[in-house]
Structures are given as structure tokens and as C-alpha cells.
């Protein structure tokens, strides 16, 4: 991934909202990041972290107070038209399309709006109808489609522009499991087969975990971390184990176990005892088992915990705060 050139570059971006009779809100505070060509990057953060403001500044819809945005080599502030030719966005999901137009009419209109050459539009419409599985609904008014289909149409409409970069604000918000899965697959295909670059903001940890190559975590307007999903998972992969023991431990066992670092002992309401250990190596499990074996404490189960991205995200936020 290191050899890929940046499609999108953000340096020192700042935005403070001033409202009458209210204290100013610093939505984005000196944010810098890069998005490499042919990758999917997820922006994660709690509500009010500055995700949407950042995405809208990248779209040229909100003017930043400071900082520079370069899209495909074009400075957004100086070469707005050229920069925007490289970007398409779905900002309000199914609200980004004309509900009174049919699927095909929406695609044709937005292709013209993005200055696509008339001769290529018809062929591309057919391609995207097929790609997004909307062929049978081509003459259906957008308002009559399901929410999932409307969302797919909104992404198709963004794609018909043939822009290199796709910006998505909460692409799976409010969708059912099937539609969410479909959107995930589509995004991955767009990047793998059509070599697009995608930057998305989301609360959907499964989307991040399964689709994104990199993650930017934003909190209180600042970038807390930017790294690949696999690296982040690796950092937090300290091999936690849970050992459930029938009954309680003796005082001598508890004393011995207390010498093992990163181990906690908890007596559950069921009468069982739960040991939670964060181990660097698997072999560190043996001393614990030896202590249990000394008094033949019956081990009910040993479970290796794999942290999901939600836990990683929360841990990073806690560390950052």
C-alpha cells in the first residue's frame, strides 16, 4: 500500500462554527491525512467528532477556516472545477437523487451534470444498471424503490460521473442487513475492479472491519490515529484469554496468581471463577494452568478473545481522551 500515490491530501484543515449568542464550536482542529489511490479509507468517530464537516469540506460545500485540500493534484480552493471533477459524493444517502425521476433518468441527468460526454452516457448507464443490479427497476421512479435500492442508486449516480474518488457519508445508515451486505460488496468491487478510491464516514464497525484498508479515527475535531485496519487489530491483539473455573480458588492460588501480570480474578454470581489474562505469548498460559492443577481446580473452559473493531475503536478513543 505504501507505493500508492495519494489521491486526496488534507493539510492543517480547520473549521470553527460561529453562532450568535453561542460559544464557537471547533468542529475540525488541524486535521491532516492522505488517502492513497485504490484504497477504501474509513473515517470513524463519535457523534460531533467532525466527520461530516470534514467530508463536506472535501466536497467544497463548507469553506474551511484554514488548511489545504488537494484532490488528484488540484488545489480545491484554487482549481475548484478541476478538483470537483475527480470527486463524487453521497452525502444524504437516498436524498441525493431526484425521487420523481426514474432510475435511468437519474443516472442520465447526473452524468450530464458531471460533464460526461453524451456519446458515452448511454453505454455507461447500462453498465451501472447491471453493476448495481438495478436493471429491472430502470423505469421505476426513485420514490417507489426500497431504501436499500435508493441507496444503491445514489451510489450509482455518484459512480456514473466516472470520478476517481467517491466520498460517502454514512453509506449503510438505516439499511437492513441484506442491503448493508450488498453495499459492502459493491464498494469492495468498485475499488478492486474499477480502481476507485473511497473515503467513507461511518458508525458501522463491520463495514470498517470488512471493507476498509485504512482507518482514520477522529475525536473532538482531531485525528487520533490513521493506520491500516490490520495494523490496528495487531496492536490490540494482546491475546486475551478467559479461563472459567468451577467453584472458587484457594487463598494460596490467588496469591500465586497475583504475581502474574495482566491477570484479573472475578468470582461470578454462578459461583464460578473467571480469570482474564492478557498474554504476550501463548506459552504464558502454562504457569496459570500449573497453579490451577496444583489443587485440581476444575477448568470449565478456556477461551481466546479476538477483539472486534468496535472494541479497538473504543480503546483508541479512551487512550486519545
Provide the binding-site residues for other proteins, judged by CB under 8 A.
15, 17-18, 27, 53, 56, 59-63, 81-82, 84-85, 87-89, 91-92, 95-102, 105, 108-110, 112-115, 118, 141
CB of 287 to other proteins, least distance (A): 57
Report in angstroms the alpha-carbon separations of 123 from 103, 104, 153: 15, 12, 17
197 or 297: CB nearest other proteins: 197
Q: Closer CB to other proteins, residue 110 or residue 309?
A: 110
Count CA atoms within 13 Å of residue 98 on its CB side.
Answer: 11
Contact (Cβ atoms closer than 8 angstroms) between residue 9 and residue 69: yes
Distance CA 288, CA 294 (A): 10
Residues counted in the chain: 321
Cell of 243: 479461563
Least separation in angstroms between residue 114's CB and other proteins is 6
Give how far Cα 31 sits from Cα of 18, 64, 201, 268, Å: 19, 11, 15, 45
Closest CB to other proteins among residues 117, 304? 117
Closer residue to other proteins in complex, CB, 60/148: 60
Give least dist CB 153 to other proteins, A: 13
CB of 104 to other proteins, least distance (A): 10
Q: How far is the CB of 85 from other proteins (least distance, A)?
A: 5
Residue 106 or 273: the one with the smaller Cβ distance to other proteins is 106
First to last CA, the chain: 29
Q: Is the alpha carbon torsion for 256, 270, 297, 261 positive or negative? A: negative
Residue 45 CA to residue 67 CA, distance in Å, equals: 21
Amino acid at each position: 500500500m505504501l507505493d500508492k500515490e495519494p489521491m486526496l491530501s488534507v493539510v492543517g484543515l480547520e473549521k470553527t462554527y460561529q453562532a450568535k449568542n453561542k460559544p464557537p464550536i471547533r468542529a475540525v482542529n488541524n486535521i491532516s491525512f492522505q488517502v492513497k489511490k485504490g484504497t477504501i479509507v474509513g473515517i470513524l468517530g463519535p457523534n460531533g467528532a467532525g466527520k461530516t464537516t470534514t467530508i463536506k469540506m472535501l466536497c467544497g460545500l463548507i469553506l474551511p477556516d484554514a488548511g489545504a485540500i488537494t484532490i488528484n493534484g488540484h488545489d480545491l480552493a484554487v482549481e475548484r472545477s478541476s478538483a470537483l471533477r475527480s470527486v463524487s459524493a453521497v452525502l444524504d444517502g437516498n436524498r441525493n437523487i431526484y425521487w420523481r425521476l426514474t432510475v435511468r433518468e437519474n443516472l442520465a441527468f447526473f452524468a450530464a451534470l458531471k460533464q460526461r460526454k453524451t456519446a458515452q452516457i448511454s453505454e455507461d448507464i447500462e453498465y451501472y444498471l447491471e453493476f448495481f443490479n438495478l436493471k429491472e427497476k430502470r423505469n421505476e421512479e426513485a420514490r417507489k424503490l426500497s431504501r436499500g435500492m435508493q441507496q444503491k442508486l445514489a451510489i450509482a449516480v455518484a459512480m456514473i460521473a466516472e470520478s476517481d474518488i467517491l466520498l460517502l457519508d454514512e453509506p449503510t445508515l438505516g439499511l437492513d442487513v441484506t442491503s448493508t451486505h450488498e453495499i459492502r460488496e459493491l464498494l469492495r468491487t468498485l475499488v478492486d475492479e474499477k480502481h476507485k478510491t473511497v473515503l467513507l464516514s461511518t458508525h458501522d464497525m463491520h463495514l470498517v472491519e470488512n471493507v476498509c484498508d485504512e482507518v482514520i479515527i477522529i475525536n473532538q475535531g482531531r485525528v487520533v490515529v490513521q493506520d491500516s485496519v490490520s495494523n490496528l487489530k495487531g496492536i490490540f491483539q494482546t491475546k486475551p484469554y478467559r479461563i472459567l473455573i468451577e467453584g472458587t480458588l484457594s487463598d494460596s492460588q490467588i496469591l500465586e496468581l497475583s504475581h502474574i501480570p495482566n491477570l484479573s480474578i472475578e468470582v461470578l454470581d454462578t459461583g464460578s471463577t473467571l480469570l482474564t489474562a492478557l498474554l504476550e505469548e501463548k506459552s504464558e498460559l502454562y504457569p496459570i494452568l500449573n497453579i490451577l492443577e496444583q489443587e485440581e481446580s476444575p477448568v470449565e473452559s478456556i477461551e481466546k478473545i479476538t477483539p472486534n473493531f468496535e472494541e479497538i475503536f473504543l480503546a483508541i478513543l479512551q487512550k486519545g481522551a
